[in-house]
Amino acid sequence: MKNHDFRIAVFAVALLVSLGVFFGGYTLDRELTDRNTRAGLTALGGGPVNLDRQGKVTVISVEPGQVDNLQETWKSLSEFIERDTAKDNYRIIIQDKRNSHLKEAFDQLQPAVYEAAANNTFVALQHQLAEYLGGKDINYRFYIDNERLYLQMQDGDYYLYQVIERVNNQATITGEA
């Protein structure tokens, strides 16, 4: 009986050590991957990056500061995530620095922006943006590709970034965006 008890004890110790090594290695790999992802995204975005796991989705929050072209920034971040990490379920949030003027302007333009994203009425949106923001001393740019509409507005040191998924993106654009 003593030999049998000894085998059970050895098995239990070996199981605990194996589980400890497995979970320790998993945690270390996850931390190193997150650290490399943060470093790469910080280099691309130019500002702090936060990774937050929410269930099976990783929320990646980036604070790039003022950017010249929101679409290029988004694409470079997205391509880095798809190419250099194993995150298939992720959501990117680009943090901006809004003031009350920018928030009010976007609140007023939001129906037109979402309508344009859904119905592909981008020329009409361009006219509405120019008309509404023309007398407000707010600079703006918007970009479009097959998947999203990118809107950026700037009021002095403050800036607003919105990336809107296109609902009806069946009218695909060929060539480089």
DSSP state of 41: H
Query: Measured between alpha carbons, how far is 49 from 94 in angstroms, rounded to an integer?
Result: 10
Token code pair at residue 85: 């990490």
pTM of the predicted model over 0.85: no
Residue 107: pLDDT over 90: yes
Cα Rg, the chain, nearest whole Å: 24
Q: Which range is most confident: 14-28, 37-51, 128-142? A: 128-142
Q: Note every long-range contact of 112-117, with CB atoms under 8 Å and residues 24 or more positions apart, other chains counting.
A: 113/149, 113/151, 113/162, 113/164, 114/164, 116/149, 117/148, 117/149, 117/164, 117/165, 117/166, 117/167
Residue 23: pLDDT over 60: yes
Q: Say whether 63 sits in a helix, a strand or coil.
A: coil
- Give me the pLDDT at residue 105, please: 93
Residue 156: pLDDT over 80: yes
User: Sheet of 158-165: strands edge to edge?
Assistant: 139-144, 148-155, 158-165
Instruction: Please tell me which residue, 38 or 74, carries the higher pLDDT value.
Output: 74
- Give me the pLDDT at residue 136, please: 86
Q: Say whether 65 sits in a helix, a strand or coil.
A: coil
Q: Say whether 167 sits in a helix, a strand or coil.
A: coil
Domains and CATH numbers, the chain: 2-94 (3.30.300), 100-165 (3.30.1300)
Query: Measured between alpha carbons, how far is 155 from 165 in angstroms, rounded to an integer?
Result: 24
